[in-house]
Amino acid sequence: MTIIASKCPDYKVTVVDISEERINAWNSDKLPIFEPGLLERVLKARGKNLFFSTEIDRCIDEADIIFVSVNTPTKMFGEGAGKAVDLQFIEQTARRIKENAKSNKIVVEKSTIPVRAAETLAKILHSGNNSVQFEILSNPEFMAEGTGVRDMEAPDRILIGSMDTPSGLAARNILMDVYLHWVPKERLITTNLWSSELSKLVSNAFLAQRISSINTIASICEVTGADVTEVSRAVGMDSRIGSKFLNAGPGFGGSCFRKDILNLVYLCEYYQLNEIAAFWEQVVSLNDYQMERFVKRILQAMFNTLVGKKLAIFGFAFKPDTGDTRDAPAIYICKRLLEEKAFLNITDPHALNNARKDLQDIEEGVDFIEDPYQAVEGAHGIALITEWASYKKLDYQKIFDKMEKPAFIFDGRNHLDHKALYEIGFNVYPIGKPALKHL
């Protein structure tokens, strides 16, 4: 919405939320999320044509277009528990829009929701005897965290799904006009509602599938002596395959991939497409396997016991340039290392507050330390889980000198200079390539 406001000075954009605390943060200089480039843009537009408010009912009434961007977590109870999407926030929002709308509205689904959920939205909005007309559009969000501003200012594509009726197409054109302020026409694509909803799930499923695929190859490389970075480069240079999203790692995280694939799996099961459900579910199972494999590699390398050993964890966010830790591989990996009775010093430039919340049930064995040099004090090993650029610039001789010997480093992202680390004296365990060890 900040980018829309900054690119469309002739529109007034108001962001509303039920959380007063969050809206206050959006109205301050300390935004509730860390996203490079966002604060400058908020400061430029706020108070001019961008507003943050808790006056939901008034803003519904005043708006012509309403973007529904509420959370759609995986349902954790009843029918479809663990796979289906919990639609309660979507439904509550639809009811609130219906109660407060006194003029016709275009309602845009921005949240990722199950295929054909627009139908539910339409049914609620059109129920009872309200003379107000609602037109539902699907406009899924493809931006990724950490690169949100860039992805929104120069998107690969903007997808708008609508009903194929005169009023549906008219609403679609109104939304297209918003994006045409800065997105070239050929990047706007239009589909029917269900294709648009499904495309969002499929995009995330395909991206996650590439990661799980390369992670399976990493395992093969570790036992055969091949190098996953070299394989990935050779494979990715085939223009039919492409080079992006072929980096092996400790497993994918984030708020979308697991949730959206499980949503796709649930959809397949609902239509009794069981083989197809099993195919996609495997992408998630392999991700679980990859996180566990990372833990096992640490355990095996460190003489099959971590009892009483100290490990420095470099990075807790699910990826760099964000403080977000939702579904981060670090959560699983740290919990498993703690089960093995290791002591953990967790460091991260932006995610320590979230890390503390994620591990709040853990009573002992974990410290959260801002400074990486302090985190490695007396450590037996380092596990790098998030590839923050700053980790490349550290003085690893200084780090080595502070550690117990033999010193281990497990580079879960193949982010560091392994040869240089080995020469300093580290035993280096990359992902998907042979270890460099002095032992």
Residues annotated catalytic, as ranges:
256
Question: Within 10 Å of residue 44's Cβ, how many Cβ atoms?
Answer: 13
114: preceding bond cis by omega (within 30 degrees): no
CA 17/CA 80 separation, integer angstroms: 28
In sequence order, the β-bridge partners of residue 428 are 409, 436
Nearer to ligand UDX, 135 or 145 (CB): 145
How is 257-315 classified by DSSP, letter by letter? HHHHHHHHHHHHHHTT-HHHHHHHHHHHHHHHHHHHHHHHHHHHHTTT--TT-EEEEE-
Tell me which of 252, 294, 368, 388 binds ligand UDX, using CB under 6 A: 252
Nearer to ligand UDX, 236 or 425 (CB): 236
* Binding residues among 361-420 for ligand UDX as defined by CB under 6 A: none
Tell me which of 160, 256, 311, 366 binds ligand UDX, using CB under 6 A: 256
Tell me which of 246, 284, 311, 346 binds ligand UDX, using CB under 6 A: 246
CA 37/CA 43 separation, integer angstroms: 11
Tell me which of 253, 349, 372, 412 binds ligand UDX, using CB under 6 A: 253
CA 188/CA 33 separation, integer angstroms: 28
Nearer to ligand UDX, 252 or 343 (CB): 252
| Maximum distance among all Cα pairs of the chain, rounded to whole angstroms | 78
Compute how many residues bind ligand UDX; rule: CB under 6 A.
Answer: 19
Q: Does 319 bind ligand UDX (CB under 6 A)?
A: yes
* Binding residues among 160-219 for ligand UDX as defined by CB under 6 A: 204, 207, 211
Region of 37-45, 247-255, 332-340, 421-429 interacting with ligand UDX (CB under 6 A):
247-255
Tell me the residue nearest to ligand UDX as measured from the CB.
254
CB 380 within 8 A of CB 216: no
Region of 65-73, 253-261, 298-306, 374-382 interacting with ligand UDX (CB under 6 A):
253-261
Region of 74-82, 141-149, 296-304, 361-369 interacting with ligand UDX (CB under 6 A):
141-149
Tell me which of 138, 139, 247, 345 binds ligand UDX, using CB under 6 A: 247
Instruction: Name the one residue in this structure whose structure tokens are 């080595």.
Output: 400
**Dihedral sign of CA atoms 88, 351, 38, 154 in order:** negative
Question: What are the residues binding ligand UDX (CB under 6 A)?
Answer: 141-145, 204, 207, 211, 245-247, 249, 252-254, 256-257, 318-319
